[in-house]
């Protein structure tokens, strides 16, 4: 597990630990002799500025000196003991793995309130999602004022006399709300637009970028989604520079703050954003327009990912939009219109793509099936793999795809996607992909071992489903090619 932070900036990390409670959790400097007092060893390692609260599982503080700080997480309950390494990487690069969390838009859209946001955070704890690594709680549009709105609680001046942006009546204490999220170890996200107005017609950040970045930092936010919206009405310049300029301005404003703020570019994949997203300070960028809970929408997003995989790396990620699972609300609350197998494909391909995972449903109404999708640690581990190399489509047929992604431990994540309506056999020619020797196959969704294979892997895949497996090196296993994604 890796966590990136800039020197001297706040660390907020909720340690995800699953298992039977009660549980004893502690953290110490890796390889230090900490049998008597692990907390003391932790402080010595990090300049006495890091603390861990085992009751809340929250690690906080800051580290001034750049470098890698490996820590060992210890967990013990009635069933046994476990430990894992967490490396805090202090430097100029953050967002070393894709963000995982929740966004308010797909369930609350223009009706979102501070109470809804608090309930989402509480649900992260109640459902156990927090112990599987879900950590961002993001407010989308409509936290600002919109004087001409039919909703009276959005009425009021959009900025104060000094130009600082105002919150609407639904968010009377933004700092208090963010403090509440931080107290649970969660990170807080907010939304704006480089244009004069957001997509919903609320106040945007145009010509107030520095002021707004300061406000976000003052409130304690850790994430900004910056949505193109009305910027086209005021944009200047030509070509790529026209697209880059507003994000560069806000990117510089965010980087000037005294805390890390992950910068999510939302301009729908236009202007080859993957080539320049990181150059303007972005940590993720949308690859498409909005994705909906329709099979055709998911397929279109997957097709775009086929051309974008080279742009993903630690610190910068392709974002094919939010997850369309669970009870959402476009006019009325309902379950996802995606069939169960389509939801497996949806999350499998997002994980293979090393994409941000943002839940978009009402967290208080999660059903068992949706929870099983979101709490599968083996699938999450593929998405969060610290090597940060997104999958490429290495077999591209009209009726099926095979995607492959190298992982940090030397294993390979492979997704076999069936576009057809009927179940079919898909054959993966491992030898042609450069895989030699024996490999153990692990079914990630079912969490079972399938056995050892050589040369060829065959499996049957249901219609619209994806069989997500991990190939783990066995006897004489090696890869002929430098990168399985490129076949050379």
CA 42, chain centre distance (Å): 28
User: What span, in angstroms and rounded, lies between the C-alpha atoms of 310 and 456?
Assistant: 27
Q: Is 290 a catalytic residue?
A: yes
Matching residue, tokens 């900490």:
34
Residue 283 phi/psi, 5-degree rounding, is -115, -10
Residue 57 phi/psi, 5-degree rounding, is 65, 25
Q: For 6-106, list the strands marked E by DSSP.
A: 11-14, 24-29, 50-53, 58-61, 67-77, 80-90, 100-103
User: What span, in angstroms and rounded, lies between the C-alpha atoms of 106 and 333?
Assistant: 10
Of 354, 83, 430, 408, nearest to 440 by C-alpha is 430
Distances 414 to 313, 321, 404, 429 between C-alpha atoms, Å: 18, 22, 4, 12
Q: Is 401 a catalytic residue?
A: no
Please, which residues bridge with residue 14 across strands? 58
Neighbour count for residue 85 (Cβ, 10 Å)? 11
CA angle 114, 117, 123 (to 5 degrees): 145
User: What span, in angstroms and rounded, lies between the C-alpha atoms of 302 and 390?
Assistant: 13
Q: Which tokens sit at 51?
A: 């603390």
Q: Are 435 and 411 in contact (CB under 8 A)?
A: no
What is the three-state SS of 236-302? CCCHHHHHHHHHHHHHHHHHCCCCCCEEEEECCCHHHHHHCCHHHCCCEEECCCCCCCCHHHHHHHH
Q: In 28-77, where does DSSP find H-type helix? A: 38-45
**Set 122, 153, 271, 290: catalytic member:** 290
CA angle 307, 308, 311 (to 5 degrees): 145
User: What span, in angstroms and rounded, lies between the C-alpha atoms of 346 and 326?
Assistant: 13
User: What span, in angstroms and rounded, lies between the C-alpha atoms of 301 and 293?
Assistant: 12
**Set 227, 321, 385, 401: catalytic member:** 227
Active site residues: 227, 290
């Amino acid at each position: 597990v890796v966590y990136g932070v800039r020197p001297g900036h706040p660390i907020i990390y909720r340690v995800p630990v699953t298992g039977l409670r009660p549980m004893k959790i502690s953290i110490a400097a890796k390889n230090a002799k900490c049998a008597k007092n692990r907390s003391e060893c932790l402080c010595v390692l990090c300049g006495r500025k890091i603390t861990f609260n085992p009751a809340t599982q929250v690690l906080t503080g800051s580290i001034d000196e750049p470098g890698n700080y490996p820590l060992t997480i210890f967990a013990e309950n009635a069933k046994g003991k476990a430990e894992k390494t967490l490396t805090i990487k202090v430097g100029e690069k953050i967002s070393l793995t894709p963000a995982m969390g929740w966004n308010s838009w797909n369930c609350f859209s223009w009706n979102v309130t501070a109470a809804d946001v608090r309930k989402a955070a509480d649900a992260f704890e109640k459902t156990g999602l927090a112990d599987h690594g879900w950590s961002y709680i993001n407010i989308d549009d409509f936290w600002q004022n919109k004087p001409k709105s039919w909703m009276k609680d959005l009425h009021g001046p959009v900025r104060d006399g000094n130009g600082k942006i105002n919150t609407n009546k639904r968010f009377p204490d933004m700092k208090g709300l963010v403090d509440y999220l931080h107290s649970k170890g969660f990170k807080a996200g907010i939304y704006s637009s480089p244009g004069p107005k957001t997509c919903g017609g609320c106040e945007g950040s145009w010509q107030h970028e520095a002021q707004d970045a300061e406000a976000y930092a003052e409130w304690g936010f850790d994430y900004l989604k910056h949505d193109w919206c009305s910027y086209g009405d005021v944009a200047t310049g030509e070509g790529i520079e026209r697209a880059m300029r507003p994000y560069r301005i806000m990117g510089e404003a965010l980087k000037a703050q005294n805390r890390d703020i992950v910068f999510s570019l939302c301009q729908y994949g236009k202007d080859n954003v993957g080539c320049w997203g990181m150059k303007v300070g972005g940590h993720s960028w949308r690859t498409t327009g909005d994705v909906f809970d329709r099979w055709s929408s998911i397929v279109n997003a997957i097709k775009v990912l086929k051309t974008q995989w080279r742009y993903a790396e630690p610190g910068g990620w392709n974002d094919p939009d939010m997850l369309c699972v669970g009870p959402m609300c476009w006019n009325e609350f309902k379950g996802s219109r995606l069939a169960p197998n389509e939801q497996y494909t949806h999350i499998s391909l997002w994980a293979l793509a090393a994409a941000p995972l943002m839940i978009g449903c009402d967290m208080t109404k999660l059903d068992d099936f949706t929870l099983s999708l979101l709490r599968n640690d083996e699938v999450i581990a593929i998405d969060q793999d610290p090597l940060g190399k997104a999958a490429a489509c290495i077999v591209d047929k009209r009726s099926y795809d095979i995607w492959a992604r190298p992982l940090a431990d030397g294993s390979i994540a492979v997704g076999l996607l069936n576009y057809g309506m009927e179940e079919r056999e898909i054959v993966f020619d491992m030898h042609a992909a450069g895989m030699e020797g024996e490999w153990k196959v692990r079914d990630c969704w079912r969490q079972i071992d399938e056995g050892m294979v050589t040369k060829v892997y065959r499996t049957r895949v249901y219609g619209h489903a994806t069989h997500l497996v991990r190939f783990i090196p066995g006897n004489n296993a090696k890869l002929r090619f430098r990168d399985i994604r490129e076949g050379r």
